Amino acid sequence: MTPAQKSATDVAAEATGPKIIIVIQQKGGAGKSTITVNLAAVSGRSSVMQNDIEDAAVIAAGIDPQGSLEDWADRVPEEALPFDYLVTRGEVGVLTKLREDPTRKRIIVDTPGFMEIDPDAAWGADPLGESRVADALREVLDLAHLAIVPITPEWLSWKPAEFTIERILKPRKIPFLVVINLHDPRDGDPALDAVKKWIDEHGYPRMSDPIRKYKIHAHAAENGLTVVEYKESGTALRAREDFMSLALTVEQAL
């Protein structure tokens, strides 16, 4: 492919292709996979309701060579899902190709935590280093329209969020949204206010309300369920509401 043809393809994909949302945070356990799957579920359900699908309009993709999304998908009754899922296992090129499919509207990409960064990389240099995961991450970062950075009230996730934003997203000019996850309603407002204050002091855009911590989410992951399939209960409604707000915030940010 000549560079001229390639850029024509890029232009076409940009105009009609799906919007790509990367869920990224250096630290493990902040909720990247949970957010990917449940955001895809609520967004996919609304596109089903609008009769907007042949192949599902929403795709949850995982680039992790370890395949955490794959583990989850193994437990899911596929026909029950309002979205497609795709596991690239770190293969570069799959997402770039998919971007040319105009039937797809949103691709939400789960990424692995990246602990193997180059601590000595010069400010402004890419600290992702050389590895299969790094190459896969760079591909998604090149394509992404928006990044979601999950953070928890637990301060251990704050520095890695800052690193992700300052060293990975800002140099690439990728718009981002910080999302507070795992807020335990029983902890009350002080814990939540502290993390909100930290985010706001850094001038980072954030989703106004947090995604609350409910046991139902952790159990769901084991059973391959998403928020749209939780058995009706007050908690299930609140859990779903959190992801509906996230979907709305994401759509407004795109």
Ligand X SMILES: Nc1ncnc2c1ncn2[C@@H]1O[C@H](COP(=O)(O)OP(=O)(O)OP(=O)(O)O)[C@@H](O)[C@H]1O
**Interface ranges with ligand X (CB under 6 A):** 28-34, 68, 112-113, 181-182, 211, 213-214, 217-218, 221
Binds 226, which of ligand X, Mg ion, none (CB < 5 to 8 A, cut-off by type)? Answer: none
Amino acid, single-letter form, for residue 250: V
Residues in the chain: 254
Least distance (Å) from Mg ion to the CB of residue 179?
14
CB nearer Mg ion, residue 16 or residue 223: 223
* Pairwise CA distance, residues 161 & 141, whole Å: 16
Structure-block tokens of residue 229? 């399939």
Could you give the C-alpha distances from 53 to 58, 63, 237, 248, in angstroms and in order?
9, 24, 25, 19
Say if residues 18 and 105 touch (Cβ distance below 8 Å).
Answer: yes
Give me the residues paired with residue 176 across strands: 147
Q: What is the number of H-type helices and E-type strands within the chain?
A: 9, 7
Among 26, 33, 157, 181, binds Mg ion (CB under 5 A): 33
- Please list every residue from 39 through 68 that binds Mg ion, using CB under 5 A: 68
CB of 53 to Mg ion, least distance (A): 26
Which of ligand X, Mg ion, none lies near 113, with the C-beta cut-off 5 to 8 A by kind?
A: ligand X
Paired sense of beta strands 19-23 and 176-183, if any: unpaired
- Contact of residue 99 among Mg ion, ligand X, none (CB under 5-8 Å per partner type): none
**Closest by Cα among 69, 90, 97 to 134:** 90
Query: Nearer to ligand X by C-beta: 20 or 149?
Result: 149
Which residues from 141-200 bind Mg ion, rule CB under 5 A? none
Instruction: Give which of 22, 25, 29, 35 is closest to 239, Cα–Cα.
Output: 35
Q: Which is nearer to ligand X, 196 or 217 (CB)?
A: 217
Least separation, in Å, of the C-beta of 204 and ligand X? 18
Which one of Mg ion, ligand X, none interacts with residue 211, CB within 5 to 8 A by kind?
Answer: ligand X
- Given the complex with Mg ion, which of 37 and 192 has the nearer CB atom? 37
Which residue number, 8 or 156, has a Cβ lying nearer to Mg ion? Answer: 156
Shortest separation between residue 72's beta carbon and ligand X, angstroms: 9
- Cα distances from 56 to residues 51, 152, 254, in angstroms, run 10, 31, 19
Considering only residues 83 to 102 of the shown chain, the ones binding Mg ion according to CB under 5 A are none
Residue ranges binding Mg ion (CB under 5 A): 32-33, 68
